[in-house]
Chain A
Amino acid sequence: EVQLVESGGGLVQPGGSLRLSCAASGFTFSSYDMHWVRQATGKGLEWVSAIGTAGDTYYPGSVKGRFTISRENAKNSLYLQMNSLRAGDTAVYYCARGEGGSSGLIDYWGQGTLVTVSS
């Protein structure tokens, strides 16, 4: 059974930093792309970052230069380092598994971890 468990969320002041982690199990972690997707309260889903099996990374402009996605295959773990946080980054952050290539398929999601940016 595929399991994705996020941790590391919490309250942080504007301009601060936070590192999210995602522990994966039930599949061959190194063989899959991985994603972070966020959802502000009452809002829709927003893709935040992705990392391929070769370590290639992708970000939208809203977080590029502030967020860094990384993976540690030996530990079946995914990370998101978030710097220069803003109030607009407040959201539940989901770790998710993706299929490679141009299909864009994201097939499994974790339960999410809440990040609150506030003074």
Chain B
Amino acid sequence: SYVLTQPPSVSVAPGKTARITCGGNNIGSKSVHWYQQKPGQAPVLVIYYDSDRPSGIPERFSGSNSGNTATLTISRVEAGDEADYYCQVWDSSSDHLWVFGGGTKLTVL
């Protein structure tokens, strides 16, 4: 099965840049999607197809994907960005065709 590896936690001061990584074998050949989930709420799509932003998502959110690592970058971090973030891909060879990373808790200091 295809495995996506995320750091359990990332901490950043307000106004700084947060980078959340998502590692997977040759993930650069796949489309990566990122979801934000705040406590008690449903996930919200923040980046799709590696680097596209849905309408309503601030430009501070960006994504990249190359080699074995995809990265979600949040610039000028705000307190309201504190949440869990999940990466996700589709892999035809996996038991779980739709594969999620384990999630990263972003803490704004």
Q: Which residues does A use to contact B, with CB under 8 Å? A: 35, 37, 44-47, 50, 58, 60-62, 94, 98, 102-112
Q: Tell me the minimal C-beta distance from B33 to chain A in angstroms.
A: 6
Number of A-B pairs, beta carbon distance below 8 Å: 68
* Set of chain A residues within 8 Å of B33, measured between Cβ atoms: 104-106
Classify chain B's interface size.
20 to 34
A5 to B55, CA, bound (A): 22
From B44, B91, B103, give the contact of A44 (CB < 8 A).
B103
Contact call A60/B89, Cβ cutoff below 8 A:
no
Interface residues of B in 73-109 (CB under 8 A from A): 86, 88-92, 95-103
From B42, B49, B96, give the contact of A94 (CB < 8 A).
B42
Check: B43 CB closer than 8 A to any chain A CB. yes
* Set of chain B residues within 8 Å of A60, measured between Cβ atoms: 95-97
Interface centre among B37, B48, B90 (most CB of A within 10 A): B90
From A35, A44, A50, A107, give the contact of B48 (CB < 8 A).
A107
The residue of chain B having its C-beta at the shortest distance from the C-beta of A35 within the complex is B98
9 additional A-B pairs beyond A105-B31, A108-B45, beta carbons within 8 Å, are A47-B98, A50-B98, A60-B95, A60-B96, A61-B95, A103-B49, A104-B97, A106-B88, A109-B43
Q: Tell me the minimal C-beta distance from A62 to chain B in angstroms.
A: 8
Q: Tell me the minimal C-beta distance from A117 to chain B in angstroms.
A: 20
User: Given A35-B98, A44-B101, A58-B97, are A104 and B89 also a contact pair (CB < 8 Å)?
Assistant: yes
User: Given A45-B103, A47-B97, A47-B98, are A102 and B48 also a contact pair (CB < 8 Å)?
Assistant: no
Check: B54 CB closer than 8 A to any chain A CB. yes
User: Given A44-B102, A107-B48, are A112 and B90 also a contact pair (CB < 8 Å)?
Assistant: no
Interface centre among A50, A61, A94, A106 (most CB of B within 10 A): A106
Contact call A47/B42, Cβ cutoff below 8 A:
no
From A45, A50, A61, give the contact of B43 (CB < 8 A).
A45
